[in-house]
Amino acid sequence: MRSFAMQFTRRLLIVGPIAVLLLIGAAPAHAQNNEFEFNDSHFHLTNNVQEGPNIRDFLNMMGSKTGRVAIFGVPLQQQWSYRIDGDRRPTYYLHTDAPLYYYSFTDAWIAMAYKSLTKEQQARLDPMITGFNPTDMYAADHIRRVLETFPGVFTGVGEFTIHKEFVSAKLSNQVASLEDPALDRILDFAAEAGLVVLIHNDIDVPFAKEGTEPAYLNQIRGLFARHPKVTIIWAHMGFGRLVRPSKRHFADIEAILRDPTFNHAYFDISWDEVAKYFVASPDATQIVADLMRRYPDRFLFGTDAAAPANESQYTRVFLQYEPLWLTLDADTSRKVRLQNYERIFDDARRKVRRWEAAHAAGAGSN
């Protein structure tokens, strides 16, 4: 069977080089060439117990397939409760009934790992701030403090979670809400600093009755409407492990895409749990491909890999999407796999570096 690179080359699905970013504080030059097959809008370097590969080992996993990656930790630490699990050490949030809690040190961990790299290596990564509690009115202050402490490092906020099956119920404090003023305060600051926002919010509850309005659709539309100056990426197109595509799902998504009020809203197709729906049959793949063709600038590919041990684990979701890549036309495929990421994250880099130059001591020294 032909490799993806050979197939993409044959179908002219290769992105050209892009210019070096020249800014105060010198955000790293873009690392792109004619070989890369995808950029990754959604990657966790660590897992639910803050373990993962060394950042240099991850760069080796990226190799010549991956151009750039939005990189972040996992903001929710899984508690190891000996009373519940004894010596059976949980490493994933579904491995135990013990609660999750917010772990703010993840941002410093990611920042220091990034700062240990050369400028050329840094150019391939866009670190994201995620170690905050979105129900806390002080969360926006945490994000500001991270930018001030680590100027020249971060490009965005997320992935962070509002409504997520299983996860929301495991948090021992207040459950997050799309209508919480604390979340509005986070997005207000993201608009001020130019940070791109990656948010996980299931569109519906698990096992919802077919034909009913999704539980959180109007609320997330309301969030988009309240924050028109923020670039928001809705992770997984609103799906969850048990929140499956309904008959109306793509019509609901297209209504957002069609509305000029929501031109700042984008969708990633990360996670193997999402990919399995989109490649379940040729008809399912065609529906997704047709939607992307109509709105080619609004979708991004991401892996949602978490602490992969090797390149095979890291690229698994990209390979899972082979039917989609072979169904899309060349231009749309290139945008979804590569160019939309570059446009969105390049713009965020410029804006955040500009904000840091005005507000953060030592900006430009990284």
Q: Is residue 353 part of a domain?
A: yes
- Omega cis (within 30) before 159: yes
Q: Is residue 148 part of a domain?
A: yes
CATH number at residue 311: 3.20.20.140
Distance between CA atoms of 281 and 291, rounded to whole angstroms?
16
* Tokens read off for 156: 């965005």
Distance between CA atoms of 145 and 151, rounded to whole angstroms?
10
Q: What is the pLDDT of residues 16-27, one digit of tens each?
A: 333 333 333 444
Percent of the chain with pLDDT over 70: 87
* Apex 175 CA angle, 187 and 180, nearest 5: 35
Distance between CA atoms of 231 and 129, rounded to whole angstroms?
15
The dihedral over CA atoms of 48, 196, 286, 13, expressed in degrees to the nearest 10, equals: -100
Q: Which residue has the tokens 């519940």?
A: 84
Number of domains in the chain: 1
Antiparallel, parallel or unpaired: β 76-78 and 100-102: antiparallel
Q: How far is CA 199 from the centre of its chain?
A: 7
Q: Is residue 185 part of a domain?
A: yes
Judged against a pLDDT cut of 60, whether residue 12 lies above it is answered with no
* Tokens read off for 294: 């109509």
- Residue 33: CB atoms within 10 A of its CB come to 13
Distance between CA atoms of 107 and 169, rounded to whole angstroms?
24
Q: Is residue 159 part of a domain?
A: yes
SS3 293: helix
Domain containing 267: what range? 136-358
* pTM given for the model: 0.88
The amino acid that residue 178 corresponds to is L
* Tokens read off for 137: 């009115």
pLDDT of residue 360: 78
303-311: average pLDDT: 97
pLDDT of residue 49: 83
Q: Is residue 66 part of a domain?
A: no
Q: Is residue 10 part of a domain?
A: no
The amino acid that residue 118 corresponds to is T
Q: What is the pLDDT of residues 244-296, one digit of tens each?
A: 778 899 999 999 999 999 999 999 999 999 999 999 999 999 999 999 999 99
Residues in Cβ contact with 209 at an 8 Å cutoff, skipping those fewer than 6 apart: none
Q: Is residue 213 part of a domain?
A: yes
Q: Is residue 340 part of a domain?
A: yes
Higher model confidence: residue 175 or residue 199? 199
* Tokens read off for 227: 């924050």
Q: Which residue has the tokens 């190891």?
A: 80
* Tokens read off for 255: 């209504």
